[in-house]
Amino acid sequence: MQHSTSRAGRTSRALIAGVASAAMIGTLAACGGGSATSGDSGASGATGGSEVSGSLNILVSSAAASDAAFNAVTDAFKAKYPDVDAKVTSVPNDSYPATKSAQLSAGSVDIFVVKNFVEAPDYAADSTSDDVLMAKAGGLVDLTDQPFMKHYTPSVLQAQVVDGKQYAVPTGLSYSTGVYYNKQIFSDNGLEAPTTWTELEKVMDTLKGKGVTPFGIGGKDTWPAGLVMLGNVASSFPTLEDKQQLAEDLWTQKTTLTDDATKSVLTRTQKVFENAQEHFSGAGYDDMPAAFARGDFAMLADGTWNQPTIDKAVNGAFEYGYIPFPGSDTAADNSLLNGKIELQLSVASNSKNQDAALAWLDFFSDPANYKTFVDGAGYSPAQPDIESSDFLNSISEYTKTYQPAWDQVWIANNKAGEDAVYPFNYPALAPLGTQSADEAAQAAQTAWAAGF
């Protein structure tokens, strides 16, 4: 499940992005490295930087902070390469697959974000993602031997290998299973950050008893509500091995979605939904940072990628923290954040300007430029020796061991029904949907079983 954003509030969002872009361009433009003529790279290996020209089209799935950071990099790239007409187009996640497909078919995109870019295990080989199939079929440029790939952390690159090759630049890491909390509201109500599910229930009950809304959720876009589900899976299946075993057991039908251990994910997710703001199913994701800053609710389930936007909204009005979602009654199970490799960038084999595309990736990958990008996007670095932001340093105890989130392990069965996509059927849960946890679990199991 990728994060995305709606286009509601386009004007205010564009203003935020413009300010962030202007702040970053000076730093990026001042960097001397990362060009197609730099000492350790030649981009395409045949074209000097001064000769790079023409149109360059970059397609990304959108979020406010990363949009601003991508535009800042691209504006600085154009300052260095004035003969390249580079343009970034950001598309909401829901419409991204269709837009990507259309642009690839038309040969009008050069660099684009690949999705679900991980090789499927043998038991789910028939459900290999479209982008992995595209790489295997030669639709993506092989980046394995590009010098700029050496800048990236080997373990991160290993996680995105396809047939032993590299086809994407990892823009960073994000953590999706955490909760932002307003320290002032907690202090005013005599509360501490919860470390277990029982403690979280007490926090929710105390806040509601004092007229404070516990959680904010941008349910209009559906996927933000799924972050609560991911947090519950992270607590219930806390290690990579746990999640891998769960996925295999579901595929081999040794486990069902109505078993106690799996159904509890929905039960606890629904409990959070019941403690969210009224009518959260109509609230936009882009509206949540401002609502959090106003104190409309005490906690916000959101990813680390949105911290720069949240920080701008809060603007020092109060202190806030970020903790792993405490979905288990064993504190150790709630001790790590789960995450993903962010917005992996590939070059289309039918790109009309591969030289410019590779020059842009080379420029982006220069450590100085890359640091400015991850600082703006709010990502944890996918390059070693990049100094993290104060916020990321503050959560380092939760990220010391990288754990992929459930949506990075799970492979959906293309033959199963819609209720089994995740397969934890959170969109069906009232009040986001209309069903109880038992009903949503049964619907998911019925849809899942239909795929075999």
The predicted pLDDT at position 316 comes to 98
- 52-66, 180-194, 434-448: range with lowest mean pLDDT: 52-66
* Spatial CA neighbour of 295 closest among 312, 271, 317: 317
d(CA 257, CA 248): 13
What DSSP designation does 169 have?
B
So where are the chain's domains? 10-174+342-398, 178-336+414-449
In the predicted structure, residue 266 carries a pLDDT above the cut 90: yes
Mean pLDDT of 119-124: 91
By DSSP bridging, strand 215-216 and strand 299-301 are parallel
d(CA 449, CA 444): 9
Side chain identity, residue 388: S
Three-state DSSP state, 69: helix
The string of pLDDT tens digits covering residues 313-362 is 999 999 999 999 999 999 999 999 999 999 999 999 999 999 999 999 99
In the predicted structure, residue 45 carries a pLDDT above the cut 80: no
What DSSP designation does 216 have?
E
Could you identify the residue written with the tokens 């959090």? Answer: 292
Side chain identity, residue 171: T
Averaged pLDDT of the chain: 89
Three-state DSSP state, 108: coil
- 15-29, 334-348, 431-445: range with lowest mean pLDDT: 15-29
CB 403 within 8 A of CB 339: yes
In the predicted structure, residue 23 carries a pLDDT above the cut 70: no
Mean pLDDT of 291-301: 98
Whole-angstrom CA distances from 189 to 166, 211, 214, 318 are 51, 11, 12, 15
Q: In what order do the strands lie in the sheet with 54-61?
A: 84-91, 54-61, 111-114, 344-347
Q: Where are the beta strands (DSSP E) in 277-316?
A: 299-301
Could you identify the residue written with the tokens 């990502």? Answer: 379
The predicted pLDDT at position 413 comes to 93
Domain pair 10-174+342-398 / 178-336+414-449, same fold = yes
CATH number listed for the domain at residues 178-336+414-449: 3.40.190.10
CB 64 within 8 A of CB 286: yes
| pLDDT tier at 24, thresholds 50, 70, 90 | very low
Mean pLDDT of 281-303: 97
Helices (H), 107-255: 130-136, 154-158, 183-188, 197-209, 223-236, 240-251
Whole-angstrom CA distances from 69 to 63, 76, 77, 88, 437 are 10, 11, 12, 11, 39
| pLDDT tier at 50, thresholds 50, 70, 90 | low
Whole-angstrom CA distances from 165 to 127, 140, 355 are 20, 11, 20
DSSP of 314-378: HTTSS-EEEEE---SSSGGGGSS-EEEEE-EEEEBTT-S-HHHHHHHHHHHHSHHHHHHHHHHHT
Angle at 1 between CA 168 and CA 315, to 5 degrees: 90
In the predicted structure, residue 452 carries a pLDDT above the cut 60: yes
* Spatial CA neighbour of 363 closest among 12, 16, 34: 34
Q: Does domain 10-174+342-398 have CATH number 3.40.190.10?
A: yes
Mean pLDDT of 149-166: 94
The proportion of the chain whose per-residue pLDDT surpasses 70, expressed as a percent, equals 89
pLDDT, greater one: 20 or 365: 365
The predicted pLDDT at position 1 comes to 56
The predicted pLDDT at position 94 comes to 85
Residue 370: which residues within 8 A CB-CB, separation 6 or more?
151, 364, 381, 383, 386
d(CA 341, CA 157): 10
